[in-house]
């Protein structure tokens, strides 16, 4: 208890310097947490992916579609439980700034394959009955104020024209990491319209979602699907849902890597600032440390005082930074919700913030501790600061 009081008093001896140092650590730990959360948000889709779902697309590119007739053939492959399909729509709501993912899906089967999308039964029945019905994620509904029964008009880009929809349901996520920013409508509505306006584009599918019996057979079933359509006019590429999601992340991998580097660079910079603070502190107290040695205090006692002070300052700053991470992340997530639909602070990020605070405090005290421990009593008493 005596040492603790002495450590706290030493830390508060120069209140301005300590306050500025703590402020720097708060900013660094907060920035580190936010940057790590941004990285986690990029990988949220792949982390939430099911191990028992495969995605089949055109082997050339997602731009090219697949025939609707593939569905029956995929369903016949051993190990396949169910098949559904979807098309990326890419419509514009009022203005291009209002972005949210839109998919035309096979209404009768799609949501059975995605139990993480929780839709009230009565809303699902209304959606299935209405050709122009749509189901909207809770996050998108909150951002744009969509309510059940509202009409939503989208201007098609990939599929030209003005498309009218009626919100028949709002889905919530079964888990915090579930993406609730998407907009789903009936693929039949899209296909029927294409038959009238662009017959050559009708009866085509963007991707097939395949539910398999066992995750252990994912590679086997994926290979069987691709062999089935080998040498056809539209060859396929089948991969796990996680691999499919990671394919999008790889397009911006350089940005993700840069964010990771910056997050650690922030900690390195504040470590240098903290080390400078402790070096100044020890240099000013050399005479005091020499006096303590003359009174019988050993090097370990001095080390305890210096390490304790450094860890106290770093720990206090880190604690405030961690506490601020949650409200700041929540505000940032709301502001960037259109681009980062899942923005949650993970437990791993908190552990890394705690570790960063402890490392900064410990490393910053190393050199000052060595210097104080080896100071000669005579030289210390001659030191005037």
Write down the pLDDT at residue 33.
92
Query: How confident is the model over 267-283, as pLDDT tens digits?
Result: 998 988 888 888 888 77
Question: Is the predicted pLDDT of residue 139 greater than 60, yes or no?
Answer: yes
Mean pLDDT lowest for which of 53-57, 218-222, 242-246, 350-354? 242-246
139 is written with which tokens? 């996050």
* CA–CA distance, 184 with 210 (Å, rounded to integer): 18
Query: Is residue 140 within 8 Å of 182, Cβ to Cβ?
Result: yes
- CB half-sphere exposure, 143, CA atoms < 13 A: 22
260 is written with which tokens? 């990771």
Tell me the three state secondary structure of residue 168.
strand
Write down the pLDDT at residue 238.
95
Q: What backbone phi and psi angles, to 5 degrees, belong to 102? A: -130, 135
Overall average pLDDT of the 135-160 stretch: 94
Smallest Cα–Cα separation from 274: which of 318, 305, 304? Answer: 318
Write down the pLDDT at residue 45.
67
Q: Which residue has the higher pLDDT, 366 or 222?
A: 222
Q: What angle do CA 143, 250, 255 make, to 5 degrees?
A: 70
Query: Is residue 32 within 8 Å of 317, Cβ to Cβ?
Result: no
Write down the pLDDT at residue 308.
84
User: Which band of pLDDT confidence, cut at 50, 70 and 90, is reported for residue 374?
Assistant: confident
Write down the pLDDT at residue 75.
94
Query: Is residue 47 within 8 Å of 187, Cβ to Cβ?
Result: no
* CA–CA distance, 325 with 313 (Å, rounded to integer): 18
Strand partners, 167: 134
DSSP letter at 62 equals T
Smallest Cα–Cα separation from 237: which of 245, 246, 227? Answer: 227
Query: Is residue 113 within 8 Å of 82, Cβ to Cβ?
Result: yes
Smallest Cα–Cα separation from 29: which of 325, 248, 278, 365? Answer: 325
Write down the pLDDT at residue 324.
94
Question: Is the predicted pLDDT of residue 194 greater than 80, yes or no?
Answer: yes
310 is written with which tokens? 């450094």
Query: Is residue 324 within 8 Å of 359, Cβ to Cβ?
Result: no
Write down the pLDDT at residue 281.
82
Residue 130 buriedness (CB in 10 A; 0-12 / 13-18 / 19+) = middle
Question: Is the predicted pLDDT of residue 78 greater than 90, yes or no?
Answer: yes
Give me the DSSP letters along 145-198.
T--TT-EEEEEETTTTEEEEEEEEEEEEESSTTS----EEEEHHHHHHHHHHH-
List Cα–Cα distances, 91 to 23, 120, 152, 160, in angstroms: 45, 26, 11, 9
At a CB cut-off of 8 Å and minimum separation 6, what does 197 contact? 160, 161
31 is written with which tokens? 């920035």
List Cα–Cα distances, 67 to 79, 203, 205, 233, in angstroms: 22, 6, 6, 10
Question: Is the predicted pLDDT of residue 300 greater than 80, yes or no?
Answer: no
User: Which band of pLDDT confidence, cut at 50, 70 and 90, is reported for residue 249?
Assistant: confident
* CA–CA distance, 118 with 69 (Å, rounded to integer): 29
Strand partners, 87: 104
Write down the pLDDT at residue 379.
65
Overall average pLDDT of the 257-270 stretch: 89
User: Which band of pLDDT confidence, cut at 50, 70 and 90, is reported for residue 121?
Assistant: very high
Question: Is the predicted pLDDT of residue 27 greater than 90, yes or no?
Answer: yes
- Tell me if the pTM is above 0.85: no
Query: Is residue 103 within 8 Å of 154, Cβ to Cβ?
Result: no
User: How many CB atoms within 10 Å of residue 43?
Assistant: 15
Question: Is the predicted pLDDT of residue 44 greater than 80, yes or no?
Answer: no
């Amino acid at each position: 208890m005596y040492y603790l009081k002495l450590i706290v008093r030493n830390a508060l001896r120069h209140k301005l310097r300590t306050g500025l140092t703590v402020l720097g650590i708060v900013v660094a730990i907060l920035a580190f947490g936010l940057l790590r959360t941004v990285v986690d948000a990029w990988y949220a889709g792949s982390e939430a992916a099911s191990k028992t779902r495969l995605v089949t697309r055109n082997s050339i590119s997602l731009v090219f579609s697949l025939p609707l007739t593939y569905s029956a053939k995929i369903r016949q492959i051993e190990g396949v439980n169910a098949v559904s399909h979807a098309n990326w729509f890419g419509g514009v709501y009022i203005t291009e700034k209002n972005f949210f993912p839109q998919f035309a899906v096979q209404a009768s089967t799609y949501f059975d394959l995605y139990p993480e999308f929780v839709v009230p039964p009565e809303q699902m029945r209304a959606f299935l009955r209405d050709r122009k019905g749509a189901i909207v994620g809770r996050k998108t509904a909150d951002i744009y104020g969509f309510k059940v029964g509202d009409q939503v008009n989208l201007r098609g880009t990939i599929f030209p024209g003005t498309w009218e929809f009626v919100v028949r349901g709002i889905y919530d996520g079964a888990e915090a990491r579930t993406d609730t920013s998407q907009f789903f409508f009936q693929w039949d509505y899209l296909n029927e319209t294409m038959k009238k306006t662009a017959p050559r584009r009708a009866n085509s599918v963007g991707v097939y979602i395949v539910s398999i019996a066992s995750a252990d057979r994912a590679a086997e079933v994926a290979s069987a699907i691709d062999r089935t359509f080998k040498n056809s006019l539209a060859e396929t590429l089948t991969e796990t849902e996680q691999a499919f999601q990671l394919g999008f992340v790889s397009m911006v991998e350089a940005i993700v890597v840069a964010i990771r580097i910056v997050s650690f660079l922030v900690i390195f910079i504040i470590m240098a600032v903290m080390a400078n603070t402790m070096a100044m502190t020890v240099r000013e107290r050399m005479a005091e440390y020499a006096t303590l040695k003359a009174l019988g205090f050993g090097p370990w006692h001095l080390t305890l005082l210096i390490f304790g002070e450094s860890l106290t300052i770093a720990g206090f700053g880190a604690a405030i930074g961690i506490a601020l991470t949650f409200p700041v992340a929540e505000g940032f997530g709301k502001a960037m919700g259109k681009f980062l639909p899942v923005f949650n602070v993970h437990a791993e990020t908190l552990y890394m913030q705690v570790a960063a605070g402890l490392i900064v405090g410990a490393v910053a005290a190393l050199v000052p501790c060595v210097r104080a421990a080896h100071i000669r009593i005579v030289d210390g008493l001659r030191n005037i600061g």
